[in-house]
Amino acid sequence: MPHTMDPSAERTLNLTKAETLIEALPYLQRYAGRTFVVKYGGHAMGDPELARDFAEDVVLLKAVGINPVVVHGGGPQIGAMLKKLGVESRFVDGLRVTDKETADVAEMVLSGAINKELVGWIAGAGGKAIGISGKDGGLVTASKVRRTTKDPDSNIEQVVDLGFVGEPETVDTAIIETCCAAGMIPVIAPIAAGSDGATYNINADTMAGAIAAALGAARLFLLTDVAGVLDKDKQLLTDLTPSDIARLQADGIISGGMIPKLETCVHAVEAGCEAAVVLDGRVPHAMLLEIFTSRGAGTLIRA
């Protein structure tokens, strides 16, 4: 006997679905025609099921008239490829020192393997994605990152040469706008050329923040491996301003890898992006829950 649902239970389920769509209506109206920049990375990238969910979310956004722009990272994958090729990695204050050989591998992994894999996931979900890097169409011009570190013995500041590690200096959004207008979803690898002609590897969060600011995006989403920003009792903080963030950092509640992420969010909202969200990329469809429900799912930062 085929199992059929009790008619009243089925009606209730269908009604719940309809109510979910109705709840989403004001958000759909608010964001129609707007741009969302999504930084995709962390462990969510290595999980095929989460990758499929992510691709479906992005295709759904495009289908309801929002323009999603994806920027992806790939630190673990670059590390794995360097190991496979026997290239030694050196880190200074958590940043990989990128010599010419490492830069070539980073470009190969980011603009090649990862970028095209993501384009494939989006195509599989029924979308049309186009994979580019900061080099394409003059999207991003990079400048070399300058870092200083204090010598623990003498307390003297020393300049650290991180090699081919860059940060976005200028952003020309023409290629993104062209892709979006043609019904495409741009998938961007965080690689760019400098005015010196060299190829630079850019932190994906930083790249996404700069692109979100230049586009005047309605939202910047940073998908990470944590639930968002937590208070001292490990409760999720849902709304923060730049001054809240400065206070929490001074109190030591925000620390480690969350600091640069939040700095990226603050820079983006102060430079033209309406709001930024730190979200748990391990939660299925976290982005849709954040956008289309009143409760949200992460930490929202706005000026």
Reference 186, options 113, 121, 128, 112; nearest CA is 128
Q: Residues with Cβ < 8 Å from 257, sequence gap 6 or more?
A: 94
Task: Return d(Cα 214, Cα 138) in angstroms, integer.
Answer: 14
Task: Return d(Cα 129, Cα 139) in angstroms, integer.
Answer: 17
CA distances to 191, 243, 261 from 175, in Å: 15, 35, 26
Q: Where are the beta strands (DSSP E) in 115-240?
A: 129-133, 140-144, 147-150, 157-160, 165-171, 185-189, 191-194, 199-202, 219-224, 239-240
Residue 1: per-residue pLDDT:
60
Burial category of 119 from C-beta neighbours within 10 Å (exposed 0-12, middle 13-18, buried 19 and up): buried
Spell out the alpha helix ranges (H) of the chain.
7-31, 48-63, 75-84, 100-107, 115-124, 174-181, 204-215, 242-250, 258-270, 286-292
Q: Residues with Cβ < 8 Å from 139, sequence gap 6 or more?
A: 132, 133, 171, 172, 173, 175, 176, 188, 192, 211
Residue 5: per-residue pLDDT:
76
Asked whether the whole model's pTM tops 0.85, one would answer yes
Kindly give the confidence (pLDDT) of every residue in the chain, 303 residues in length, as a single tens digit, with 9 standing for 90 and above: 666 778 889 999 999 899 988 989 999 999 999 999 999 987 667 788 989 999 999 999 999 999 999 999 998 899 899 999 999 888 877 677 899 999 999 999 999 999 999 999 999 999 999 999 999 999 999 999 988 877 778 888 888 889 999 999 999 999 999 999 999 999 999 999 999 999 999 999 999 999 999 999 999 999 988 888 998 898 999 999 999 999 999 998 888 888 889 999 999 999 999 999 999 988 889 899 899 887 778 999 998
CA distances to 4, 40, 261, 287, 299 from 224, in Å: 40, 8, 9, 12, 11
Report the alpha-carbon angle 170-176-180, nearest 5: 160
